[in-house]
Amino acid sequence: MPSLSRVEATARGALITVESYQVDLDLTGDAERFRSTVTIRFRATPGAETFAEVKPHRLLGVRLNDRDLDPALLDDNRLPLTGLAASNTLTVSAEMAYSNTGEGVHRFVDPADGETYLYAMSFLDDVQRIFAAFDQPDLKAPVTLAVTAPPEWTVAANGQLADRPAPGRWEFAPTAPLATYFVTLIAGPWHVRKDEHDGIPLALYCRKSLAAHLDADAEEIFTVTKKCLDRFHQLFAERYPFGKYDQAFVPEFNAGAMENPGLVTLRDDYVFRSAVTDTQRELRATTIAHEMAHMWFGDLVTMRWWDDLWLNESFAEYLGTRVTAEATRFTQAWTTFAMRRKAWGYAADQRPSTHPVAPEEVADAAQALLNFDGISYVKGASVLRQLVAWVGDEPFLAGLNAHFAKHRFGNATLADLLESLSAASGRELADWAERWLRRPQVNTLRMETAVDADGRWAEAAVVQTAPEAYPVLRPHRIGVARHAPDAPAHLFEVDLDPAADRGRTVLAELIGQPAIGLLLPNAGDLTFAKIRLDPASADAVPMVLPGLADPLARALLWGEALDAATDGERPVTSLVSLIAAALPAETEVIIAEDVLSLSRNLVDRYLDPLSRDAALLRIAGACATLLAGAPAGGSLQLAAARGLIEATTDTRLLAGWLAGEDVPEGLAVDADLRWALLHRLVVLGAAGEPEIAAEAAADRSATGAERAASCRAALPDAEAKRAAWEIVTSNTDLSNRLVEATAEGFWQPEQAELTAGYVERYFADMPAAARLRTPWTADRVATLAFPRYAVAQPTRELAAALLARDDLTPGLRRRVVDLDDDLRRALIARTAVAAAGA
């Protein structure tokens, strides 16, 4: 399928204006296909030629004005349209295929009760799998949808329901102008909860088999939704512009959620069926706020082309986090941002595939999908936070409001936004934008100190550096904090001048002061930069960290320790020592969770098997201590238990918990925890297919099926590995989720010998496997199935040979380039640690 290019979109955008879409879908057919008819009214330069896009199973009819066109004219996904009049009507009817990959109209049969559910996902250019369209973000038009469905079903869409003239017939009112990638609907025997707030009708949808779990949390979800709406209405002059606000929790969704105006779709893993930590509840709240932010940023004002994708995602990430922290009970959302989200952003920005937050030009829609990464979301959001620190909050919001007023229901570019922000703040932002938005890669802010004979700081400075390949320093407004045991934190702000001699900014405030405690750069986390402590401060971390009251400061210190270990500047074993010393005192759930998961990645990839065993033993010990001290039934207890399950090799303890023996008081061994226990037992060779089959029989949910698939792939057994690899590389009958779960279970550090032969198989099989799948699933599979634990030069040589081929999909190429770079860094770190130990 040719992907629409920027040049083509610009040309078509100049030629036509779309006035309306009238869409009629018939969902009463078989399990394979549905019927789609669309009538598009559009104006054009008379005599001009252009094309519409559609990806049908079978094209049934095309009528342009008073002419029937031959369906055979369809060239791949493009329908040529010639001899246009000033005012045109195009009608296209087709048989369309359902998907099992979360794209177009996804069809799902719930294993719990056999019920069928459908939902539509148009992003990024998949509206073409639902109806024919001019599929580019700046050809916005009202959409009027009608659906014929089985009579017992419920249907919802972007627009308000206008009429139900007959059983199974659903007719919706015209929407406000929508970009084509926002069109959605859900259809099936959905469970519904309704509410209302400030004149805005609210609804929640989920599968019937999840109804009890949604009902248990409906109040929390509605409360978050209402508080976020109120906060956005305080921040923005324009009220929520799309009438009703529905949120549908849908099965096997690829992303966290999608910001369809009037009907947000969210992955139904957010309907919790087992005990979860408060971090998971916070993530659900942040996702709700993120999608709501899109209603203004993305939906009301849409990017002109995909190169301004960051305008959507960076703003939604920034405002989603901010509004969650300001308006909901999850007041520590910025700590989660610092700990979890920024780790994703820093990793993406240091990879070979790094790109500017705002790339000058994204050639086509397929290329745009590759930019959905930690840069477009997290770095962009972090840069916006830095912008707010730089120009002030009031001018920032005034600029945004001017931007909305000017471009409402239209499209805009980065230049348009900068113009509004410059006007509101009175600041010239061109140089700032050039350094922050147009240049890739991350700066490092390193503290340098020297102490005089009286124990006072003779020198204290922040030194800003940049990687050799991207030598750009930036203006940073940062906080610097001094943390000493038994003393209140001392915090001050300082501006780092990109033109400063050797990137060095002296902290005059500290010179001559008693050199006590630990100095933390980027305190408050206002900027996007790697940080490094001065040696004395680094030495003080194990002592200071456990007593530090501010969770954000602790998150930054943990982040520094993790990053230094990732870069091989400090051995992973010293990170493990820090975990042993400080984790048992941790009270913030997100910090405990992410220290465990991020360090585990290093332990599994940077350490040889013997050192790894020793490290896991120490981590399991720290988890056990944390568990023993955690309040019964709370999030910290659950986080500690999960950490212990993942790290321990004590199969008697694991099997005991699974049998309900010696379970810590308050810890619920529910469906999800049972699967975690079983998964670990399977990896350790202490449970097999009979146990998996028994667990799956007891848990017939969709989640149960995914967990079972992951467990089966993790079995330390040659036949199980063969079957799993077959699924990963060639099965398209299973849904996106089941394939991904299989890929997720395949590689285990404990099974290096058993899976050694599959290292080579990855590089041999993946090019064809990637072509077999649609981009999103192909990308997930390429990532999860990569032999990430085979940290060795021969793996890199296989990667190099693969990358020398010219027949790779762009998605696979990008993924292998990055994952190979992870191997490179791991190898360097291993060498450095070996040298330090020798």
| Residues designated as active site | 291
Residue 366: name the closest of 785, 830, 778, 828 by CA.
Answer: 778
Least separation, in Å, of the C-beta of 546 and Zn ion?
A: 36
- Residue 10: phi, psi to the nearest 5? -65, -45
Q: What angle do CA 140, 145, 147 make, to 5 degrees?
A: 150
Query: Are the CB atoms for 101 and 777 separated by under 8 Å?
Result: yes
Query: Are the CB atoms for 506 and 461 separated by under 8 Å?
Result: yes
Residue 209: name the closest of 121, 118, 275, 117 by CA.
Answer: 117
Least separation, in Å, of the C-beta of 417 and Zn ion?
A: 17
Joined tokens for residue 654: 């694991």
Residue 258 or 708 with smaller CB distance to Zn ion: 258
Residue 313 or 818 with smaller CB distance to Zn ion: 313
Amino acid at 236: F
SS3 assignment, position 142: coil
Output DSSP code: residue 306.
G
Position of minimal CB gap to Zn ion: 316
* CA 621 – CA 600 distance, rounded (Å): 14
* CA 586 – CA 626 distance, rounded (Å): 8
Q: 155-168: buried (b, 16+ CB within 10 Å) or exposed (e) per residue?
A: bbbbbeeeeeeeeb
Find tokens 């009238």 and name the residue. Answer: 22
Least separation, in Å, of the C-beta of 177 and Zn ion?
A: 20
Residue 37 or 411 with smaller CB distance to Zn ion: 411
* CA 217 – CA 225 distance, rounded (Å): 12
Least separation, in Å, of the C-beta of 105 and Zn ion?
A: 21
Residue 268 or 313 with smaller CB distance to Zn ion: 313
How would you classify the pairing of strands 245-250 and 200-206? parallel
The sheet with strand 245-250 has its strands ordered as 191-197, 200-206, 245-250, 263-267, 257-258
Residue 316 or 418 with smaller CB distance to Zn ion: 316
The DSSP-derived string for 85-134 is: -SEEEEEEEEEEE-BSSSSEEEEEE-TTT--EEEEEE-TTTTGGGTS-B-
Query: Are the CB atoms for 144 and 172 separated by under 8 Å?
Result: yes
Joined tokens for residue 249: 């929790």
Least separation, in Å, of the C-beta of 316 and Zn ion?
A: 4
SS3 assignment, position 566: helix
Joined tokens for residue 404: 């909305």
How would you classify the pairing of strands 200-206 and 530-532? unpaired
Find tokens 């040979």 and name the residue. Answer: 801
Residue 110 or 313 with smaller CB distance to Zn ion: 313
Residue 372 or 409 with smaller CB distance to Zn ion: 372
How far apart, in Å, do the first and last CA atoms of the chain sit? 55
Query: Are the CB atoms for 147 and 185 separated by under 8 Å?
Result: yes
Residue 51 or 123 with smaller CB distance to Zn ion: 123
Least separation, in Å, of the C-beta of 369 and Zn ion?
A: 14
Helices 718-730 and 752-772, interaxial angle, to 10°? 20
Joined tokens for residue 119: 């939902």
The length of the chain is 838
* CA 640 – CA 591 distance, rounded (Å): 11
* CA 591 – CA 580 distance, rounded (Å): 14
Residue 126 or 313 with smaller CB distance to Zn ion: 313
Least separation, in Å, of the C-beta of 624 and Zn ion?
A: 39
Query: Are the CB atoms for 823 and 791 separated by under 8 Å?
Result: yes
Residue 313 or 349 with smaller CB distance to Zn ion: 313
Burial status of residue 470 (CB atoms within 10 A of its CB: 0-12, 13-18, 19 or more): middle
Least separation, in Å, of the C-beta of 317 and Zn ion?
A: 7
Least separation, in Å, of the C-beta of 197 and Zn ion?
A: 22
**Applying CB under 5 A, which residues contact Zn ion?**
313, 316
| CA distances to 296, 357, 476 from 233, in Å | 11, 28, 30
- Residue 693: phi, psi to the nearest 5? -60, -40
Least separation, in Å, of the C-beta of 242 and Zn ion?
A: 16
* CA 322 – CA 748 distance, rounded (Å): 38
SS3 assignment, position 52: strand
Query: Are the CB atoms for 330 and 287 separated by under 8 Å?
Result: no
Contacts of 838 (CB under 8 A, 6+ apart): none
Integer Rg of the chain from CA:
27
Least separation, in Å, of the C-beta of 321 and Zn ion?
A: 12
Residue 380 or 521 with smaller CB distance to Zn ion: 380
Least separation, in Å, of the C-beta of 181 and Zn ion?
A: 12
Residue 283 or 316 with smaller CB distance to Zn ion: 316
Least separation, in Å, of the C-beta of 310 and Zn ion?
A: 11
Residue 132 or 316 with smaller CB distance to Zn ion: 316
| CA distances to 166, 231, 417, 561 from 555, in Å | 57, 27, 32, 10
